[in-house]
């Protein structure tokens, strides 16, 4: 008699995320995943047909969560919205590492993976549009320097996400500190 299923799809995707971040897409495989699960390996196939499907679903889940949080931001005050957006990005700082391997997923092996990656790509575009809109408004309102090109401001903003939190400051506070640091060099 096989092992009983004792994990949810959500737990499966959480573990997939952790293992892909630890081992990279190339080092991740379903055998590795099953070694970390309490149930039978065959249970994975009740949710996903192959590696491509589960990794694409994991990527979609993470970016969908980010989109949900980002779209809930009140954009009335562009600077406050940028600070909140940075907080969201800091909270999900592993997103870019995770999505960096999306191009490796062979969608010929799975139409479901292809659909999930389309959602990921569209979400990425949505986030980029939101960020650009907020930066442009902040410049127009004279809250950000206009002599620094927008791509440079945005690039500096994104580099904050990977700043090591050596003091182990809680994530919301860490995001605010990073924003203050960034703003000190960008504010008029």
CB contact burial 36-68 (16+ within 10 A = b; e otherwise): ebebbeebbeeebebbbbbbbbbbbbbbeebbe
CA distances from 11 to 7, 16, 75 (A): 6, 8, 33
CB contact burial 137-149 (16+ within 10 A = b; e otherwise): bbbeeebbeeeee
Instruction: Return per-residue pLDDT of the chain as tens, 188 residues.
Output: 444 457 788 999 999 999 999 999 999 999 999 999 887 777 888 899 999 999 999 999 999 999 999 999 999 999 999 999 999 999 888 888 888 889 999 999 899 999 999 999 999 999 999 999 999 999 999 998 888 888 888 888 888 888 888 999 998 898 898 888 888 765 55
| CATH architecture of the domain covering 51-186 | Orthogonal Bundle (1.10)
What CA–CA distance (Å, rounded) separates 55 from 51?
6
Q: What is the pTM of this model?
A: 0.85
Q: Are 151 and 132 in contact (CB under 8 A)?
A: no
State the helix-helix crossing angle for 51-71 and 78-91, rounded to 10 degrees. Answer: 150
48: nearest Cα among 101, 105, 2: 105
């Amino acid at each position: 008699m096989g092992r009983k299923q004792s994990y949810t799809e959500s737990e499966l995707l959480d573990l997939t995320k952790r293992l892909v971040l630890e081992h990279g897409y190339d080092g991740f495989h379903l055998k590795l995943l099953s070694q970390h699960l309490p149930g039978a390996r065959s249970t994975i196939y009740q949710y996903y047909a192959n590696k491509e499907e589960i990794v694409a679903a994991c990527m979609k889940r993470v970016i969908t969560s980010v989109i949900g949080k980002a779209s809930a931001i009140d954009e009335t005050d562009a600077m406050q919205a940028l600070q909140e957006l940075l907080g969201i990005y800091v909270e999900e700082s592993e997103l870019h590492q995770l999505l960096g391997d999306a191009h490796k997923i062979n969608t010929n092996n799975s139409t479901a993976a292809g659909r999930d990656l389309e959602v990921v790509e569209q979400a990425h575009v949505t986030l980029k549009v939101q960020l650009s809109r907020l930066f442009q408004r902040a410049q127009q309102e004279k809250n950000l320097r206009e002599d620094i090109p927008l791509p440079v401001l945005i690039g500096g903003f994104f580099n904050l996400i990977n700043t090591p939190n050596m003091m182990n400051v809680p994530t919301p506070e860490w995001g605010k500190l990073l924003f203050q640091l960034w703003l000190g060099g960008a504010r008029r």
